[in-house]
């Protein structure tokens, strides 16, 4: 398949001063160097959607939403073949902003691949694992591989704001002798290509 895979990187936090912009921007720049990919960064701050309150579930709305920001969000998600969701861990879970953004849509997510990159306590792993279950509810297909960013990276970013994203996350390219981003992307792209072919068929 010669057609490029469209990957949407989603920043799941809308807090002021959030750390999530740094890994999102780093991955966005890294993936621009890859062949066969169209990558776009989506910031939930740019889509201030109301709390999901529709009497009709998204599966029944047929992508016709009453709110303009939801319509814009729908178009962006529908355009994607795969998603990389960047999430912090708040109180052992993920942000309400991210859950709301997921809940507003349904057909736009269905039968597409998703991978999670998390940060916080224990690398945000608890938030990522909960999101895997949520993903299944909207028919996303989560990959097994994740990237978990420990407190070490957050402290470095806080203590040295001049540190470039490339330098900050360089250790992830060679953790335990393996390029964590390359392994993550290999899994995500394999699944994205398989699902895209199946959707076309």
| 178 vs 194, more confident | 194
**pTM recorded for the entire structure:** 0.95
Residues of the chain with pLDDT > 70, as a percent, come to: 99
- Using alpha carbons, select from 82, 73, 87, 120 the residue that is nearest to residue 12: 87
Position 85 scores a pLDDT of: 98
Containing domain of residue 65, as a range? 5-200
Q: Domain count for the chain, please give it.
A: 1
Kindly report, residue by residue over 71-110, the tens digit of the pLDDT: 999 999 999 999 999 999 999 999 999 999 999 999 999 9
| pLDDT, averaged across the chain | 95
Alpha carbon 117 to its chain's center: 7
- Using alpha carbons, select from 143, 12, 14, 184 the residue that is nearest to residue 87: 12
Angle formed at CA 173 by CA 153 and CA 13, multiple of 5 degrees = 45
CATH code at position 126 = 3.40.50.360
Query: Tokens 């470039």 label which residue?
Result: 164
Kindly report, residue by residue over 45-54, the tens digit of the pLDDT: 999 999 999 9
Q: What three-state secondary structure class fits 115?
A: strand
Position 1 scores a pLDDT of: 47
Residue range 124-134: mean pLDDT, rounded: 97
pLDDT at 200 over 60: yes
Q: What three-state secondary structure class fits 117?
A: strand
């Amino acid at each position: 398949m010669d057609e490029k895979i469209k990957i949407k990187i989603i920043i799941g936090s809308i807090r002021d001063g959030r750390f999530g912009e740094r890994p999102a921007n780093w991955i966005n720049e890294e993936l621009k160097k890859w062949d066969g990919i169209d990558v776009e960064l989506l910031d939930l701050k740019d889509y201030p959607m109301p709390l999901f309150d529709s009497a009709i579930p998204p599966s029944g709305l047929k992508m016709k939403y009453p709110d303009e920001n939801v319509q814009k969000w729908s178009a962006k998600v529908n355009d994607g073949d795969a998603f990389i969701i960047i999430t912090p861990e708040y109180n052992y879970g993920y942000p309400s902003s991210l859950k709301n953004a997921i809940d507003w849509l349904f057909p736009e997510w269905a039968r597409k691949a998703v991978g999670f990159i998390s940060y916080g306590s224990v690398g945000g792993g608890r938030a990522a694992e909960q999101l895997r279950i949520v993903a299944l509810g909207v028919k996303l297909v989560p990959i097994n591989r994740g990237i978990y960013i420990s407190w070490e990276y957050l402290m470095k970013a806080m203590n040295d704001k001049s540190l470039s994203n490339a330098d900050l996350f360089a250790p992830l390219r060679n953790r335990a002798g393996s390029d964590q981003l390359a392994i993550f992307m290999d899994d995500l792209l394999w699944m994205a290509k398989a699902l895209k072919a199946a959707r076309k068929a």
